[in-house]
A = this chain, B = another copy of it.
């Protein structure tokens, strides 16, 4: 019988762990062979000059992990390990890989940042939110620590249903609303729910690609339901077997086109006759700067198969992590089934949900929406005017009526990518609109280049300067 090499150095960690580690390493390192007998607990304890307790604990732990086994009244024996062990050494490879994190950080700084996602979250009603948040923590926290309604807090859904009716003309019961922490997640549920409907989904051209990508990942084919920049082509839908259409009727991306009422009606008629489904993307539908917000498609036919999609990330702040679906009655039972099948839980914080409910109930949310609307209206107008002045001789500002950006259409000789790079070199961030069109080649051929100029992230006073700077940088490329 060979002695194991255990010895106890000075150490802060408990004795039994030291013993455990030492024997484990002996086994791993091949210094103790399979089926070899370990010293008995008493003997080991004597050798190490400790009591039997830590040795026994160490042996228990080793046994629990399968390193050794106990043969009652015989002793502890080393278990049989595959000989390939040494291949998997604990190489604590904490070295940095070459993987850059540039996509993660938004640390790049621009003198003039006309990016889209950069919204004016600074106008978030911080003080009210904090106060209501603390109130929730104070008054309801015990209850909220436990699992809640997987579909979302009933109170919030009730408040939301009322809000959607008042401001967006959406007609629904709170039972139709599904709360979730992320857009893709909710659309993923939806894609699964609609899997039996048709193998393809139709989207607008152009459009924000989120819905298309999510459905694509779920195995759907994607086709366009429109000619570029035109309305929905019903005959096209009828020719194909597609029975799911995704639209953004109150603010098509990126151009901001509003779907006219007759197109809405035709789409609803199509859905009714073909038993099709309409996904209504209404992100930012509250923000319209000319006249009233255009009521949602869903409200025209509350009993039709329209799924309304919205959220609070843009209008309030991303930290809220609350988005929602409004499901038609026909999808309620399937959704409940799906939930039980996939075993998902609510992904949004109950505390945040309750706080948001208070914010809405007490009217602060609607106030905030109005404030945002007027703030953005001003910036939108300033930007439109500044661009008009700078580029009136070679282009136009399109549809500056809603959203967080507008479209600058220019007669130019260079490609959009070249011009964006030039702007970037000059410290200005703008984006191309072409990326969102189905036919990239057609965009290339177009004489008129289109850029998305966001006004969310830039200070009002810097808009005019930024526009002038942009004109100067782009001067060589423009066709006056």
A461 CB to closest chain B CB, in angstroms? 19
Chain B's closest residue to A118 (CB) is B146
- Would you call A8 an interface residue if the criterion is a C-beta within 8 Å of the partner chain's C-beta atoms? no
A318 adjacent to B147 (CB under 8 Å): yes
B88 adjacent to A268 (CB under 8 Å): yes
- Would you call A398 an interface residue if the criterion is a C-beta within 8 Å of the partner chain's C-beta atoms? no
B146 adjacent to A121 (CB under 8 Å): yes
A198 to B65, CA, bound (A): 30
A85 to B144, CA, bound (A): 46
| CB-CB contacts below 8 Å: A7-54 with B | 17, 20
A340 to B209, CA, bound (A): 11
A299 to B93, CA, bound (A): 11
A473 to B219, CA, bound (A): 51
- Would you call A130 an interface residue if the criterion is a C-beta within 8 Å of the partner chain's C-beta atoms? yes
A321 to B144, CA, bound (A): 12
A66 adjacent to B145 (CB under 8 Å): no
- Would you call A91 an interface residue if the criterion is a C-beta within 8 Å of the partner chain's C-beta atoms? yes
A150 adjacent to B262 (CB under 8 Å): no
| CB-CB contacts below 8 Å: A285-341 with B | 288, 290-292, 294-295, 299-304, 313, 317-321, 329, 332-333, 336, 339-341
Residues of B within 8 A of A347 (CB): 181-182, 185, 321, 347
A258 CB to closest chain B CB, in angstroms? 6
A81 adjacent to B261 (CB under 8 Å): yes
A150 to B401, CA, bound (A): 30
- Would you call A265 an interface residue if the criterion is a C-beta within 8 Å of the partner chain's C-beta atoms? yes
A262 adjacent to B80 (CB under 8 Å): yes
Residues of B within 8 A of A17 (CB): 292
Residues of B within 8 A of A67 (CB): 261
A74 CB to closest chain B CB, in angstroms? 19
A106 adjacent to B147 (CB under 8 Å): yes
Chain B's closest residue to A59 (CB) is B291
| CB-CB contacts below 8 Å: A343-396 with B | 343-352
A319 adjacent to B145 (CB under 8 Å): yes
Map CB proximity to B onto A89-127 as digits: 1 under 8 Å, 0 otherwise: 011111011010101111000000000011101101010
| CB-CB contacts below 8 Å: A164-187 with B | 171, 173, 175, 181-185
A11 CB to closest chain B CB, in angstroms? 16
A175 adjacent to B82 (CB under 8 Å): no
A145 adjacent to B79 (CB under 8 Å): no
| CB-CB contacts below 8 Å: A247-274 with B | 258-266, 268-269, 272
A94 to B172, CA, bound (A): 7
Which of these, B57, B182, B265, contacts A181 with CB under 8 Å? B182
Which of these, B61, B64, B262, B351, contacts A66 with CB under 8 Å? B262
Extra inter-chain contacts (11) besides given A60-B290, A97-B332, CB under 8 Å: A64-B290, A65-B295, A80-B262, A81-B261, A88-B304, A121-B145, A144-B319, A145-B318, A181-B348, A321-B347, A321-B349
